[in-house]
Structure 1
Amino acid sequence: MNEVMFYMNEEGFGTIYTTRMFNKIHKMIEEGKLSTENALLLLKHIGYCKILFGWWSSDFKNSLLCGRFEKMIVDEDKKNEEKNEKLLADLCKCDLMLGFGFSSELLSICVPCLLKVASNKEENKEAQKEVEMALLALCRAVDYFKIDKELFLDEIKEIIEHHQKHRNLTRLAYQSIWEYFLNEFNSKRRFEEVIVNELHFAREATRELEQLIQRVDWKRKEEGKGGKIEKEEILLMGWLQALNRYFCDCRLRNEEIIGLIGSIVKVFRIAKGKNVSVSDKSIRLFQSAARNRDAAIDGLLKGGAGDLIFEEIVQSTLNDKTAYTCSSFFIEISYRLKKNEDDEMEVAKRKELKRNLFEKMEEEGYEDTITKFHEILPYYRRRYGYLLSVNVTDCFVNV
């Protein structure tokens, strides 16, 4: 069934896995024609593929089966010595992977249950698969703001640190726990300290990106061959999604960020023309980082973000989205380099950055290209609803 789903699209999934089908499974369980154990085995695989490929469907939530499972979760959790931990974990996996819009009561049961499953350090394939499913369910469930992640910080740290030492998780499981951790952490500085300085997210993300770009069959993509989607592409998209949260909310000032920026530049260059989703997400990360007032501009530039934007901005085939991203990057950098600082060292550093940028623009002939954005900024304001300054060249021209 998993092999069939790998060739299925979202429309095909929605046609087969309907509320009517889930209700039929519910009826079969009621009549004793299908055991709960076998039903859970089937539904875990359906949910796994649904979440892996990012398919949207509300059919399970509207089914009798969903109501049955959620009641079973609450009832099973109330048990003490007779509690069936495996049954509870499987119910939680199915409900979170197939459903949406979870109650605080349900999440307060499922989150600790699935983190306990994810803490399993066995390295056999069966255990790794269950850990992978548990983390995939966790990172994709919505409404997690109802549960304070700080309550589970130690468990999350332990899972990540153990993997960093022993490499016991699958690639998907490792990417998933980072995505779960970074999602909606609301800039809590204690979390950020753990993410940046204790767990070294930038270093880990760099390593994963470097390995993934070597594993994707880019030649097949370049030739436009369809068929089975590669898991590595899904993983790459997952890391880029996690990085967007990181770039928006964290203080990007340690040395590890330079290597990460360099890896994202590599991802963009190799994916360009082969996977539009990957290349678009990659370059938009630099826009997010430029908007982050706590991100070090020199780190972005040393990593090669500025060079990449320069290269793209002069392309005759530049599409609207990329043009908007590039212009936004320059506007944000311009604004930040023009800021007044009391610290003389910061002032000197800012002037040096401005001078270096100007010299590069003048040398490569980029200044005229940037100036042309005066003509199209009103269009981007209307199209994307973002208030772009018309003084995009002020910083760069008037050093």
Structure 2
Amino acid sequence: MFAQENQETSISKMLNELFCELEHCNEDEQRKKIEEMNEMMNEMNVDEIKSIFTKGLFNKMNKMIEEKKLSIENTILLLKHVGFCKALKNLHDYRFRYSSLNKRMEEMIIEEEEKKEEKNERLLVDLCECYISLSYNFPPKLLSICVTCLLKAALNKEESEENQKEVEIALLALSNTEYNEIDKELYLKEITEIIKYQQKHRNLTKLAYQSAWQFLIYRFFNDDSLEEVIVNELHFGREAARELEELARCIDWKKKGGVEMNKEETKDELILMRWLCPFFDFFRSCRSWNEEFVELISSITKVFRAAKNNFCHIRDQCIHTFLNAVENMAVKIEDLLKSGAVDAVLEEVHQSTLNEDTAYECLLFFLNISERMKEEEDDEKEEMKRRSIKMEIFEKMEEEGYEDAITSFHETTDFLNKKCYYQLSLNISDYFVNA
């Protein structure tokens, strides 16, 4: 039933035992045990969740439903929380998609949606939340039903704590649609209203607001016509910068651990990391540029500096973002200077704990700057500005002893060859912006 590990954690064993007891309990007892299981899940890391919630387990749940040993209501209570934890922790695990329970969910959603009378709206929302947060690569008909249903739930502006939680779950589930193509008519008006209302009234939780933006940014990946709405109407740069800085103030950056020490991350750490992931796609695709994005890169730089000692996964995601920004011709090199990104990456090159992947991205960052700074401008004023920026960057490189660092990397031939870093030049002069 469960994937057994040689060394199961005590919390995994306890959750395993509780699940095994479910088929011998009445519905009320089941509910109490599932609520206990949900509390345990909050303390589990992604590996523990993956080890327990397997395709075999989901098939077992489906069989229990067929044998009337587990009610749909209690199944939903458990699955909603599994989906919530999976989405929050950015766990990409697709085994549910191939289970018999996934098929049952799809059939139930279509059946409930097609009812002419006595449609159970609450049940439909619950089913959609479970299905979207646990599965992937959704059939178009089901995706349309779920997106429409979940956006309707997320538009509920009631300010009770219970409703805020339901809105959060609905938006978190929507963010799990990732790159699935969705007709703009199904979501744009609604998601814009949700974001604008939050900007005015601050009615959403931090996770709900991040999830709304993540859903929209993933749509942008397939539809660049959304850029005007995202950049100028909804002010993504300004909003993301503010949210990032507020979250950064809530994190204990000096603590040892995070995922590197197999410790569970706090909710604020998880939400901050969820912001950084769509930045990667946004900076790769965005063609508009304004001062708000200088503010955003400045906020990312602050997070990068705070994270670099004890939160390597956050540091690395910041570097990914810087790299995508410098490769995007819409992003001005002077803004990377102004925001502190150039200084931050220069500092990272000197870290004694620098690993090869991070070193590669740092070098590629400067290789891109160097290439862009070699392109002369036709306009005299722009050419003078380009030369001034080149001089400023070159002086920073000299001050930081950047040449010695690059030389040491080139002396380590394994660094360039072992992982086939073909994009890196073997000519040391290519990494410098020569004035």
Secondary structure of 1:185's counterpart equals helix
Aligned to 2:3: none
Taking a change above 3 Å as real, the CA distance of residues 205 and 377 of structure 1, as seen in their structure-2 partners, is farther
Aligned to 1:303: 339
Out of 126, 138, 153, the residue aligned to residue 188 of structure 2 is 153
Taking a change above 3 Å as real, the CA distance of residues 364 and 17 of structure 1, as seen in their structure-2 partners, is closer
Alignment of 1:312-323 (within 5 A): 312-323=348-359
Taking a change above 3 Å as real, the CA distance of residues 300 and 227 of structure 1, as seen in their structure-2 partners, is closer
TM-superposed CA distance for 1:342, in Å, is 2.8
TM-superposed CA distance for 1:287, in Å, is 1.1
Higher mean C-alpha displacement, 317-326 vs 380-389: 380-389
Amino acid paired to 2:238: R
In the alignment, the residues of structure 2 paired with residue 286 and residue 227 of structure 1 have an alpha-carbon distance, to the nearest angstrom, of 27
Aligned to 1:278: 314
Q: How big is each residue's C-alpha offset from its partner over 1:369-394, in whole Å with a ceiling of 9 and x where there is no partner?
A: 34555545884365254422345635
Aligned to 1:266: 302
Tell me, yes or no, if structure 1 residue 257 matches structure 2 residue 293. yes
Out of 185, 194, 198, the residue aligned to residue 233 of structure 2 is 198
In the alignment, the residues of structure 1 paired with residue 139 and residue 275 of structure 2 have an alpha-carbon distance, to the nearest angstrom, of 28
Alignment of 1:1-399 (within 5 A): 1-142=37-178, 144-145=180-181, 147-149=182-184, 151-186=186-221, 188-221=223-256, 227-251=263-287, 253-370=289-406, 372-375=408-411, 379-380=415-416, 383=419, 385-391=421-427, 393-394=429-430, 396=432, 398-399=434-435
Which runs of 5 or more structure 2 residues have no equivalent in the other structure?
Answer: 1-36
In the alignment, the residues of structure 1 paired with residue 41 and residue 356 of structure 2 have an alpha-carbon distance, to the nearest angstrom, of 34
In the alignment, the residues of structure 1 paired with residue 423 and residue 96 of structure 2 have an alpha-carbon distance, to the nearest angstrom, of 41
RMSD: 2.5
In the alignment, the residues of structure 2 paired with residue 25 and residue 270 of structure 1 have an alpha-carbon distance, to the nearest angstrom, of 44
TM-superposed CA distance for 1:348, in Å, is 2.1
Taking a change above 3 Å as real, the CA distance of residues 18 and 329 of structure 1, as seen in their structure-2 partners, is closer
Does the aligned pair in 1 maintain the 2:179–2:219 contact within 8 Å?
no
In the alignment, the residues of structure 1 paired with residue 125 and residue 250 of structure 2 have an alpha-carbon distance, to the nearest angstrom, of 32
In the alignment, the residues of structure 2 paired with residue 91 and residue 330 of structure 1 have an alpha-carbon distance, to the nearest angstrom, of 48
Q: How big is each residue's C-alpha offset from its partner over 1:45-85, in whole Å with a ceiling of 9 and x where there is no partner?
A: 12111222233434422322221110111121122343222
Secondary structure of 2:256's counterpart equals helix
Secondary structure of 1:383's counterpart equals coil
Amino acid paired to 1:73: I
TM-superposed CA distance for 1:13, in Å, is 2.2
In the alignment, the residues of structure 2 paired with residue 3 and residue 196 of structure 1 have an alpha-carbon distance, to the nearest angstrom, of 39
Does the aligned pair in 2 maintain the 1:92–1:110 contact within 8 Å?
yes
Does the aligned pair in 2 maintain the 1:371–1:393 contact within 8 Å?
no
Taking a change above 3 Å as real, the CA distance of residues 197 and 86 of structure 1, as seen in their structure-2 partners, is same
Q: Normalising by the residue count of structure 2, what TM-score does the alignment of the two structures yield?
A: 0.84
Aligned length: 398
Q: Normalising by the residue count of structure 1, what TM-score does the alignment of the two structures yield?
A: 0.91
Taking a change above 3 Å as real, the CA distance of residues 30 and 391 of structure 1, as seen in their structure-2 partners, is same
Q: How big is each residue's C-alpha offset from its partner over 1:186-205, in whole Å with a ceiling of 9 and x where there is no partner?
A: 37443111111111111111
Amino acid paired to 1:67: K
Does the aligned pair in 2 maintain the 1:196–1:202 contact within 8 Å?
yes
TM-superposed CA distance for 1:180, in Å, is 1.2
Taking a change above 3 Å as real, the CA distance of residues 270 and 324 of structure 1, as seen in their structure-2 partners, is same
Does the aligned pair in 1 maintain the 2:304–2:315 contact within 8 Å?
yes
Amino acid paired to 1:206: A
Taking a change above 3 Å as real, the CA distance of residues 72 and 208 of structure 1, as seen in their structure-2 partners, is same
In the alignment, the residues of structure 1 paired with residue 428 and residue 293 of structure 2 have an alpha-carbon distance, to the nearest angstrom, of 26
Amino acid paired to 1:108: S
In the alignment, the residues of structure 2 paired with residue 248 and residue 265 of structure 1 have an alpha-carbon distance, to the nearest angstrom, of 17
In the alignment, the residues of structure 2 paired with residue 334 and residue 382 of structure 1 have an alpha-carbon distance, to the nearest angstrom, of 25
Q: How big is each residue's C-alpha offset from its partner over 1:300-351, in whole Å with a ceiling of 9 and x where there is no partner?
A: 1100011112212233332212211111111101111112333333222211
In the alignment, the residues of structure 2 paired with residue 222 and residue 33 of structure 1 have an alpha-carbon distance, to the nearest angstrom, of 42
Taking a change above 3 Å as real, the CA distance of residues 392 and 336 of structure 1, as seen in their structure-2 partners, is farther
Secondary structure of 2:317's counterpart equals helix
Aligned to 2:6: none
Taking a change above 3 Å as real, the CA distance of residues 378 and 108 of structure 1, as seen in their structure-2 partners, is same
TM-superposed CA distance for 1:28, in Å, is 3.3
Does the aligned pair in 2 maintain the 1:26–1:64 contact within 8 Å?
yes
Aligned to 2:29: none
